[in-house]
Amino acid sequence: MFSIRDLGDELAAVRESHAPSALVVDCEGDFETLPPAQAEELGLLVDGLDPVSYPESWLPADAPDQLRRYAGDEFTIGLPGDGGVTWTRQTEPPTVFVKARTEGAPEQFLEFLIAEALVEAGLDRPEQFLGFFGERSRELAAATPLGPADTYQLAVALYDAHIGLTTRGTFRSWAEESPRLHEAWADAGDRLRPRLSDLSREVAAGETDFAAAAELACSGVKHGLPLPTPFGALDTEAYRETGPEYAVAWARKTFEELEE
């Protein structure tokens, strides 16, 4: 199920700088919650397993089942929307997982996703938005008129933007020391740019729903792209410093204005 992945020189240097003890493993399948047999197999590669759990009181009443599993006692690594590369500190040392769904992805872009995961694993940040919002998760849900799935998507996006405020400086610094990774980061931003240019109009016209627009816009933060209204207010030092309090206030104000 799991095998140690060989890293090239640039990825090895990123790991050394940000998460020197981390393992990077290829996975035979895709998963979020690990069955006991697979958890035992993972346990053979790492020194210890420490599944995370969070208080039930943090969850909105209509929280999706997968989020409830993550908050509960089941060993859950990653959540829907995380993509083909994810990371966890529920293992000792931290582990980056390259899932089977990445097969066929451009190698250079895949290397960037691994590098991004190593950078994030080295931050003092929760691995999922639930640990970020904490007891404010219910406040966020109450601040929006969205259904459970869209509220979940918005929360993921908001946390992605917050992390992007921290990581993009690192990605920019790779221009000389890790040019292959920097090129992949810049190329991903260039591909995203045209999707952001008309996003405000698409939301206003009902062509793109708000949560999907938030996911696109918040992805632009880690690339330093200009964000459309109302998402530009997330690309601020205030959000970086105050985190969930700012995000909840932004959501409340945004939806109040949209309903006027």
Name residues whose C-beta falls within 8 Å of residue 156's C-beta, 6 or more positions apart in sequence: 79, 81, 129, 215
pLDDT of residue 260: 65
Same domain, 100 and 143: no
Length of the chain: 260
- 75 domain-assigned: yes
- DSSP 8-state code for residue 49: E
Same domain, 98 and 132: no
pLDDT of residue 259: 80
Q: Calculate the alpha carbon distances from 199 to 149, 212, 219 in Å.
A: 20, 10, 13
Same domain, 50 and 8: yes
Amino acid sitting at position 34: L
Same domain, 231 and 173: yes
Please give the tally of structural domains in the chain. Answer: 2
- pLDDT tens, per residue, the chain with 260 residues: 899 999 999 999 999 999 999 999 999 888 888 888 889 999 999 999 999 999 999 999 999 998 999 999 889 988 888 889 999 999 999 999 999 999 999 999 999 999 999 999 999 899 999 999 999 999 999 999 999 999 999 999 999 999 999 999 999 999 998 999 999 999 999 999 999 999 999 998 999 999 999 999 999 999 999 999 999 999 999 999 999 999 999 999 999 998 86
Same domain, 2 and 99: yes
Strand order in the sheet with 2-4: 2-4, 23-27, 95-98, 85-88
* Cβ–Cβ under 8 Å, residues 26 and 2: yes
Same domain, 86 and 149: no
- 193 domain-assigned: yes
Domain range spanning residue 179?
A: 128-260
- 168 domain-assigned: yes
